[in-house]
Amino acid sequence: MNRFQVAPEVFEKIPNACFGVVVAKNINNSHPISEISVLLQNTQKDIFQQLAGRKAKEYPPILPYRETFQKLSINPNKYPPSVEALISRIEKGKELPAINPAVDLGNAISLKYGIPLGAHDLQAAAEPLEVRLYHPG
């Protein structure tokens, strides 16, 4: 069974959408890993310096995601892209909290490359993970 899928309507609305999947097996996510902690701290410092007084929503790597949200009729001011939410914390001088090594590494990568990123426990997922458009119920 596929554990990750993208609904066809996503590509209908966003033809140039691109998704990547990385699967890590047999990881121990139960205790901090100093290299990941240092990477996250250093990446936050770098982002703070790169912002140089700009708002997160004006940060160049964020702009394509905000534009895409607008094309999908999603207000990015009300529902910002996840990477923008991370950068907004840094803009306000707040450090991201340490969660666990997998999440911390994901946050560091998201910040470093300016991309939204999610980390999921595939064994705990009852159904495949799916990227789809939101439809109010």
- Residues with Cβ within 8 Å of 68's Cβ and at least 6 positions away in sequence, in order, are 14
Q: pLDDT tens, 15-74?
A: 999 999 998 888 889 999 999 999 999 999 999 999 988 999 999 999 999 999 998 889
Grade residue 1 by pLDDT with cuts at 50, 70 and 90. Answer: very low
Rounded to whole angstroms, the Cα distance separating 43 from 79 reads: 24
Rounded to whole angstroms, the Cα distance separating 130 from 54 reads: 34
- Residues with Cβ within 8 Å of 75's Cβ and at least 6 positions away in sequence, in order, are 69
In contact, 66 and 12? CB cutoff 8 Å: no
In contact, 47 and 90? CB cutoff 8 Å: yes
Q: Which two tokens stand for residue 93?
A: 């001088």
- pTM, two decimals, is 0.88
* pLDDT higher than threshold 70 for residue 106: yes
